[in-house]
Amino acid sequence: MKQQTQKRLLGIAAVAVVAIVWQIIADYVVGRSFILPSVTDVASAFINLLGSGTLLTDLAVSLEHFGIGIIAAFILGVPLGILMGWFRVADHLLDPIIETLRPIPPLAWIPFAIIWFGLTTQAAGFVIFAGAFFPILTATYAAFRDVPKVFVEAGKVLGCDTSFELIRYVALPAAVPAIASGVRIAMGVGWMCLVAAEMFGVSTYGLGYQLWHNYYLHQMPNVVVYMLILGFTGLIIDRIFRNYVDKQLLRWRAGEVA
């Protein structure tokens, strides 16, 4: 408990020092809010945006975009990764297609996202899907290809006679840590794609859209507010996911059982 308290106090102290230095530089070195808004300018902008309800609305819209893309990437990426990682025929058939599409930057799909879906939630979700799908697929594929042969042989000895049983009871539990790491990476990539997609006009709402819109209006304190909200929201999403993975999916590492 003392270590946790000390860690938190050090984190708070570091944030306070950064805020003080930021305020001093903004007021006495730069002196122009357009170039570098001060901490007080940003705090005032945050209160105004929060009071108007704009900030919460855009946060909810961005989370909806993000959820659609990540869920779609997980639903398609994990089964496809299992298929390619476990069955050689599927790997040979699908690998050329996957390796051709994988190097395409997710933002390159924005024109088709707008054409196919218009300026809708689905369009933003599709761009996020394009960024998150391949990390999940690659992690799942590598995890299933690297399942130790001794695990498979032990599963057969213990009664796993079909590929489905081997996948369900042997390969999937062994692959969960790697898949979880792939999902975490995909969430980070998807969050960055979300901001870029909204900034480039896939949606008329959201944190990324408002960031770019306020830049055009030269409301730089508002821009910084949206930047910080993006950072904190991404951090919270990552912490929630890590906490769930450690306490639920990987609790066997700490000797816990269901």
Structure tokens at 185: 């990476």
- At residue 110, the pLDDT reads 86
Angle at CA of residue 83, ends 166 and 68, nearest 5°: 115
Position 148 confidence tier, pLDDT thresholds 50, 70, 90: confident
Which CATH code for domain 43-250?
1.10.3720.10
Does pLDDT of 175 surpass 90? no
- Side chain identity at 210, as an amino acid letter? Q
pTM (2 decimals)?
0.83
CA 44 to mean position of chain CA atoms: 29
| Mean pLDDT of all residues in 136-148 | 89
